[in-house]
Homo-oligomer: A and B are copies of this chain.
């Protein structure tokens, strides 16, 4: 039937229609004048979005590629590095560092929580020779935000550089690379930027570029020095992902037109209303430091979380995501990132309530939805 598919995923998220239009235009050649002009505008738009004077490099890769580029461009064999394991993506930083044989120290944090800046301070002072601290702005697997602004205050005055994975944070919540003093910010196209996957983004400050120049880890496709030289001339070292970049331009125009602040506020209001709805449904929130891009809900006792995900998919054509690894079956995650609005949020909660009732949960149909009606309708979002 004419079922609309709705994605409430941490990524890929639903694509901005103007971006879809851009992507489906007849293709530009990546050495053409039109592309060069477009890229010039994209470069400025990305600087505005990252709030930085540094160059934001665009890679034809996923966010993980951009993460790896940070590791192999900043480090040299034998370097000591720090990671924080509070979820799957913190572990990914660890795996990349291990793949390059770096000396890794890891701060273990309970999944569902964020490290405090106090914990990070201790971690840094216990490892004064660490070259880089890799962590997340939002740990997607647990829907947890880290106190990045506080942490950057510590690293700014330390010898350890701060690399932030903002893949599920950029475009969702405020981030100010220069003002906060983050050394490296990494992101991707398929979450807050409402684009298909395929673009990695990385911005580095002077401290990071100084390290980059001395870095001795092997790299070719992810050689950021080569990319910087090319991209400063509105070109890429290797063939650019042209169509996605036309889409990226549309997204950056959208952020400019609507204003970032309004978009961030929208996420904040939607996520906060979703959390209130969860509480009204007598369900439990999982994240102690919740993201505004996605909400993690503990699956009620006696109910199989995978069944919730499957029923929403099979019966209502809605994609939400369950827990990963040790959280499998224990939480569900509902995103409010991407091209979605308050009525999509009402839709997914109306269906979630129905699914939970059908699975035997003792919840009263309509209670969460009513909270969303109260909180999200009325004031314009």
Interface residues of A (CB under 8 A from B): 1-4, 6, 16, 254, 258, 262-263, 266, 315-316, 339-341, 343-344, 346-347, 350-351, 353-354, 358, 365-366, 369-370, 372-374, 377-378, 380-381
Contact = CB atoms under 8 A, between A and B. Distances in A.
A350 B353 CA distance: 15
A343 B381 contact: no
Nearest to A367: B366
Nearest to A372: B350
Contacts of A373: 350, 353-354, 365-366, 369
Contact of A346 (B1, B340, B347, B365): B347
Nearest to A194: B2
Contacts of A254: 2
Contacts of A315: 377-378, 380
A35 B344 CA distance: 39
B351 A343 contact: yes
A370 B380 contact: no
Nearest to A353: B373
A135 to B, nearest CB: 30
Given A315-B380, A350-B373, 7 more contacts: A1-B380, A2-B339, A3-B341, A343-B350, A346-B347, A350-B369, A366-B370
Contact of A262 (B1, B266, B358): B1
Contacts of A358: 378
B365 A4 contact: no
A343 B316 CA distance: 9
A88 to B, nearest CB: 28
Contact of A377 (B340, B354, B374, B381): B354
Contact of A266 (B1, B341, B378): B1
Nearest to A317: B341
A375 B236 CA distance: 55
A178 to B, nearest CB: 27
A369 B346 CA distance: 10
A43 to B, nearest CB: 24
A20 to B, nearest CB: 11
A374 B378 contact: no
A335 to B, nearest CB: 14
Nearest to A265: B1
Nearest to A381: B1
6 contacts: A1-B258, A1-B266, A2-B254, A315-B380, A354-B378, A366-B369
Contact of A316 (B4, B344, B377): B377
Nearest to A378: B354
Contacts of A263: 1-2
Contacts of A2: 16, 254, 258, 263, 266, 339-341
A343 B350 CA distance: 8
A365 B354 contact: no
